Structure 1
Amino acid sequence: MTEIATSPLTVAPETKHVPDTMAAAFEDFMGAFEAFKDTNDRRLSEIEGKLTADVVTREKMDRISRTMDEQKRAMDQMVLKRARPALGRDDALSPKAEEHKAAFESYMRRGDEHALRALEAKAFSIGSASDGGYLVPNETDSEIGRRLSVLSPIRSLATVRQVSGAVLKKPFALAGMATGWVAETAARPQTTTPQLAELSFPTMELYAMPAATAALLDDAAVDIESWIASEVDIAFGEQEGTAFVSGDGTNKPKGFLSYTNVAESSWSWGNIGYVATGAAAGFKASGPSDTLVDTIYTLKAGHRQNATFVMNRKTQAEIRKFKDADGNYLWRPPATAGQQASLMGFPIAEAEDMPDIAANSFSIAFGNFAAGYLVVDRTGVRVLRDPYLAKPYVLFYTTKRVGGGVQNFEAIKLVKFATS
């Protein structure tokens, strides 16, 4: 027990040192991974010797695993801050953008839309329709998009298209042209033409309605744009992340887990293929990583080289314990700060919306999501200022139209925790 009490990895969360640089965070993460390997090796030795692992060892390994998750999230936040644009900097805005920013702030603080209407007369591309709602200025709109890429990992993996209409229709070639070998003077019969299918991706409305008091809006020290972004990105990111994974397609995007799932041996277009683990609610006791190898090679080479594993942190914690025949861990930490962890050479995206391991659950996805999943954004984020409905609060009704769905059914595969 003394070893556990004095280990820096087992200090209570409220007393942990929070690294302030990416290099320090990465160094802490690698130290935690080495401690994890040592503790797991001890656990495996105890199982071999006593047919069970010591409770203290298991608890220590669980604490180290949680510490690694926390440190990885800290590094992700640092990457986010590094990529985040500075808002409201005078030297970063053109005179036209500065004028639009001032007009937008006047609307957000006091509901004064005269300056925005004047800008509409100068440049019709800046203002919105005359229904009381206005597009967010470019700085805020851009920040929301970048921060969503972190909150919703599927968005950062998928192909993202912006559309100006309500629905994006995408033709897809199911089969190419038929060809044939012929002799020099033989007849050339007509060959079959390519078969096309049409995929439809409607955009659904996603909204948030944060509130602020009039006193807050009158305070000149408050950065209204940053406040709106920080409020909206959390609400939008959580909703999008869930919908892209498990949305049913009714008033929301259709997630890749909501399509018909079939065993890989019975796969056909329009379905998502899966590989079963061979054990109910878990991996097989012998050769648990065989399922992962089988899943990897269900993808064609063109998709496999750009593929990513997607799972939540609990599933990833289970897979961290896997070793190959030579005793090497299959899960590897990031090679450098800012990169992703890998499993069997493929990157891992941590998506908390993926289900936990349970009977018949699809807890692991593997595929080329850039080819397999399409996110459709209706251009623009709209903000409607409402100072009347909830006095003394001012409501900011913020909407964005988003759609999504599978565009290539052979590019995404699943792991099913079941016997078949």
Structure 2
Amino acid sequence: MSHLNTAPETKAAGADLALAFEDLRYTLENYRSTNEERLAGLEARQGVDPLTEEKLVRMDAALDDTMRRIDRLTLERARPALGQDGPRDPLTAEHKAAFVSYVRTGEAGGLKRLEAKALSAGSGPDGGYLAPATVEGEILRRLANVSPIRSLATVRTISSGTYKKAFSTTGPASGWVAETAARPQGSSPTLAELSFPAMELYAMPAATQTLLDDAIVDIDQWIAEEVESAFAEQEGAAFVAGDGVDKPKGFLAYPTIADASWSWGNIGVLNTGVAGAFPASNPADVLIDLVYALKAGYRQNASFVMNRKVQATVRKFKDANGHYLWQPPASAGAPATLLGFPLVEAEDMPNIATSAVSIAFGDFRRGYLVVDRAGVRILRDPYSSKPYVLFYTTKRVGGGIQDFAAIKGLKFAV
């Protein structure tokens, strides 16, 4: 539950954030010193001390918890207070007031009158009423912060059910020519039509009537907070591995092919050379190969994507000079880095296993497209789960690869 006065909470979040960074620094120092002990034991051929391994596992979990804490505190500190400045457009103000009345009491008369004035402000064929722009904007802003692939991808807002675009798979015909020379007619580029339908995503937060009757509760922010985690969890799974049936198509759902034989419509992958594992010697070399499998134009804005278990493995990798390849965030809101590139944690990426594509690297802004259909709809249901009031909240979202050359994968196979 959120209140209008958030200034003290913001100050507290700032103080807690500083403590969280201090915890991260301390834990990371201990983690690295423990890992040095483990490596020294291996080099001396004494084997690995089980207590040292157990300690590393606990520190891995502590690092993950601290990183999540930093992400949460950063989001809280950056969160704007809703409702401080009233909307200037009379129709928008009327819509907001009518929506709050509908959520608190179930009175839909105001929203129905708006439906007669402007179809975009009323009920749709699938039921419910459009939430005000402040609610929709807050939900999308929160999703951009907590949905890992959305934060990397290009996001388009559409008013229809499907977004279509043409893409040249060969690039435009071009060349040099003298000032007075005849311009040769170039060969026609090969075009592919990409289609991204928007599918329905829903969440159903519940509230007591007592909470709704509390005038100090910010209804806009309460709804955004309640649906944030549900939408982010579903989006995260779909953008990574969704099959495209009633959901977006994830980038790992497309066919994969050896990068040396890459062709349009496939994701190029490099093999680690070992089934279900990194190579025993110089394991970081395959990560370097993955980086340079991507063309320079894409590499400038590229990021690594993997889950926390895979990240725990690469945290132990060093370069030839003994420097760790994984580095913690340099500031609040910044990601950890691997080989100097941002590392984004996506829990829906596969664990390391035989033939699994457990690490992706690429320019996801150019490679993956998220499509949002404008409008978030909310249907109030006080009957299905008494004494709670349910709010059936829906938005339409789609996604898929728009440039197959922009994303590469690391496959744990021979």
Q: What TM-score does the superposition give when structure 2 sets the normalisation length?
A: 0.90
1:166 equivalent to 2:134? Answer no
1:360 paired residue number: 355
Cα 1:220/1:59, change in 2 over 3 Å: same
Deviation at 1:389, TM superposition (A): 4.0
**Candidates 330, 333, 336, aligned match of 1:338:** 333
Of the three residues 272, 275, 284, the one matched with 1:280 is: 275
Letter in 1 for 2:230: A
| Aligned twin of 1:208 | 203
Q: Deviations over 1:188-215 (max 9, x none)?
A: 6533122211100011111122333444
1:37 aligns with 2:37: no
Matched, 1:244 2:239: yes
- CA pair 387-51 structure 1, distance change in 2 beyond 3 A: same
Secondary structure of residue in 1 paired with 2:397: strand
Aligned residue in 1 for 2:170:
175
Matching residue's letter, 2:351: D
User: Which SS does the other structure have where 2:380 is aligned?
Assistant: strand
Structure 1 match to 2:254: 259
Does residue 322 of structure 2 align to residue 322 of structure 1?
A: no
Do 1:19 and 1:25's aligned partners in 2 also have CA atoms closer than 8 Å?
A: no
1:393 deviates by 3.6
Alignment of 1:4-19 (within 5 A): none
CA offset at residue 51 of structure 1?
3.6
Shift of 1:87: 2.4
Cα-to-partner distance string for 1:180-238 (whole Å, 9 max, x where unaligned): 66789987653312221110001111112233344443344544333322221111110
Whole-Å Cα distance in 1 between the matches of residues 370 and 364 of structure 2?
Answer: 10
Superposed displacement of residue 107, structure 1: 0.6
Matched, 1:290 2:290: no
CA distance in 1, matches of 2:63, 2:180: 70
Q: Structure 1 332/120 Cα, relative in aligned 2: closer, same or farther at 3 Å?
A: same
> What are the superposed Cα offsets for residues 139-178 of structure 1, whole Å, 9 maximum, x if unpaired?
2211111211232100000000000001100110122344
TM-aligned CA distance change 1:52 to 1:194, over 3 Å: same
Aligned: 1:56 with 2:69: no
Aligned to 2:395: 400
Query: What amino acid does structure 1 have at the position aligned with 2:260?
Result: S
Asked if the contact 2:360–2:410 (Cα under 8 Å) also holds between the matched residues in 1, the reply is yes
Match of residue 7 from structure 2? none
Provide the rounded CA distance (Å) in 2 between the counterparts of 1:88 and 1:185: 64
Aligned partner of 2:20 in structure 1 is 25
Moved more, 67-76 or 110-119: 110-119
Q: Secondary structure at the match of 1:381?
A: strand
Structure 1 residue 379, shift from structure 2 partner: 0.4
CA deviation digits over 1:295-333, x for unaligned, max 9? 101111010010000001110110010011111111111
CA contact (8 A) 1:384 1:398 kept: yes
User: Is 1:142 matched up with 2:137?
Assistant: yes
CA RMSD of aligned residues (A): 2.4
Q: Which deviates more from structure 2 when the two are superposed, residues 367-376 or residues 49-58? A: 49-58
Give the 5 Å matches for 1:61-100.
61-89=56-84, 91-94=85-88, 96=90, 97-100=92-95
Matched position secondary structure for 1:299: coil
Deviates more, 1:112-121 or 1:271-280: 112-121
Distance 1:102 1:300, change over 3 A: same
Confirm whether residue 309 of structure 1 aligns to residue 304 of structure 2: yes
Query: For residues 278 and 51 of structure 1, do their structure 2 counterparts lie closer, same or farther at Cα, with a shift above 3 Å needed?
Result: farther
> Contact 1:84/1:143 (CA < 8 Å) preserved in 2?
no
Equivalent of 2:370, from 372, 375, 380?
Answer: 375
What CA distance in whole angstroms lies between the structure 1 residues aligned with 2:89 and 2:265? 51
Consecutive unaligned residues of structure 1, counting only runs of 5 or more, are 1-17
Q: Is the CA contact 1:341–1:347 (under 8 Å) kept in the aligned structure 2?
A: yes
* 2-structure distance, mates of 1:314, 1:60: 16
Q: Distance in 2 between matches of 1:180 and 1:100?
A: 55
What is the rounded CA distance, in whole Å, between the counterparts of 1:170 and 1:189 in structure 2? Answer: 28
**Which stretch of structure 1 is more off in the superposition, 117-126 or 167-176?**
117-126
Equivalent residue pairs, number: 401
1:234 is matched with 229
- When residues 222 and 53 of structure 1 are mapped into structure 2, their CA distance, relative to the original with a 3 A threshold, is same
1:213-268 Cα shifts (integer Å, max 9, x gaps): 44443344544333322221111110000000000000000000000011111110
- Residues 121 and 265 (structure 1 numbering): CA distance in 2 closer, same or farther, change over 3 Å? same
Give the corresponding residue for 2:42: 47
Residue 225 of structure 1: SS of its match in structure 2? Answer: helix
Instruction: Tell me the amino acid that sits aligned with residue 242 of structure 1.
Output: A
